[in-house]
Structure 1
């Protein structure tokens, strides 16, 4: 895949994936188009040598893998990990709020949202709705309104004279989106039924039972900057890594046992049935290992590249970085290191990645948080701690992480894709 095709496809993927459910479905459709076979956890699996498979859980997490050989105890897996969720505003169960002449939506803050960036944006709603059909069956379907149907207006400076000296947003009172005036009738469940019938005309919807819906910014993802060298979009953290990992897996040509895992709920700690701190990956790998001894052998001959965005040095806030570990956008992916194991990188996994990157003539950067600041974490330490796989944490340098609209480098994304594609084909990881 060439640079322009890669980035055009990336923008389309970001646009089609406003929620983890939609991101997982986007990857599912891409895998099916490339001949991957969809497995169902409730069924018996028949795995063949030379096969390509994937499985989803909760419709928001996905594992895809190739099996050039069935016994991976001597080869191990070449694993790439990312997460499908992003900080956002989610609708509360009783979401309708009617106050002061406006129909509004009560929302819950999901993850570490930069709340002020959600003000004055054209917002839509997407997610999963569970309904009962005319026949009494309970089914779930994805919906996406796509059009801007909500907005959270800012407060005029005339009513908040000190706003430019710093302000906070109260998530209970001040971030509720406006849908329409109270002169209009509004029933959220009827709105959802109408949307289900529009998007799924063959589904005889009788009643909406529940939903998991998120707000999102309708402004399209774009290449920006004087030379179009930046990617500007919502949810770059971490759909950018999901897309890069997916394309790397599709380019692996089934040469080595390779696996992509994209899990939900990383932004809130990963502790769920479909999160990295849950049993999903372990469940899948044990179904692919004939016995416990071969399972351990396979894991110890494997390596996981945990790909999540990294903080680029912001020229307006340079003092927030350790000057010796200050990544720049479009200067290569970042190896993330933390002595307290907030990242899972060690000297061996870092060396393997550096060697693979060098074979692609791809520059490598390093990030260590300032010693007087707290450090975030990723699925890397969680996955490594759960199954014992050697792991490296890397990420693409990013501005505005957890903003409604983030910024990364288009050359970085394409370069990382080439490195990870080579990683999936690598024969020997470490010589003991």
Structure 2
């Protein structure tokens, strides 16, 4: 707190020296002079470089004037993409008044200008990121604009850069110390924004710098479930094409495997998107086996209708106990998958035959309860899931003081034995 007060006092003194007058007030990095004479702002909005140059030569302090929205000329130049005017505003030499340290004064004035916030709390860097002005954003970053200033919604420049899919700017901000775990008023982190856009390069950098993989928003969405939500609502023109890759990145980085928002878990989300690949990864890595799927029905039915048949077997081997009604429901679903459908699904597809085989296998399992070994496997994997706080258990099997064969059994290395022959 003392550091902040000292900084504010120093910046306030610098502002007064920069402005050469006591008529300007410094408050939250926003400047107001109480008059309607905002010539520099009007010249900037009109993109009149000649007028801007003339005004700055006669009165450099006009750089710090703000309009009724709390915006300086730099805000407006940034929003409109007037790069030349922005450079003119930033390059004005500050006149020194009785100070021996002109360089320090000029630097303080420049930082005041860069960090001035409008009525929404946005700095010029926020505006540059919002409007995808990468040239200006990189300029402000290079001039040491504060990278962790939050607007009134809690968004930092990193939030905005990631949301607008500006990869270069996001990486620059990270390199200069932007807080990768900053949260806005809705508790979104930059990683949530990266999951929303599906930018794997930004995700990898945020994760490398310690971004929290399981941070939850105000409505309890993790980055994993954020990717799922925006995949589901994506329009055809902005298809979210790399969902499985994003999910795989999060799982391999060590996100929780079963964290729920009250409606969805990673497993039910994967099944909803027909992603057998991710569902299998989650199950192999040790996620908890959900007892119910969508609309309160058993998850086995979702797995049967949405995924490869082998996911049904994997669920059962990992502890899911199907009811007779569920097996009957799966059997009734088979005629829905006609030969025409299976042919369209892919050359040589055996989906129809595999589903029939899975139903037969489920009926046999009803007659032959799981072995003691399978029961022990389910219990041990559940205990390991709890010990790792719901993260991947695969790397931990080798540390168990048991024979390699048993390690492989617990890791489901024998699962291919249960696969239906193609």
Q: TM-score range by the shorter chain?
A: under 0.3
Normalized per residue, which structure has more helix?
A: 2
TM-score by length of 2: 0.21
More RCO (CA 8 Å, sep 6+): 1
Normalized per residue, which structure has more strand?
A: 1
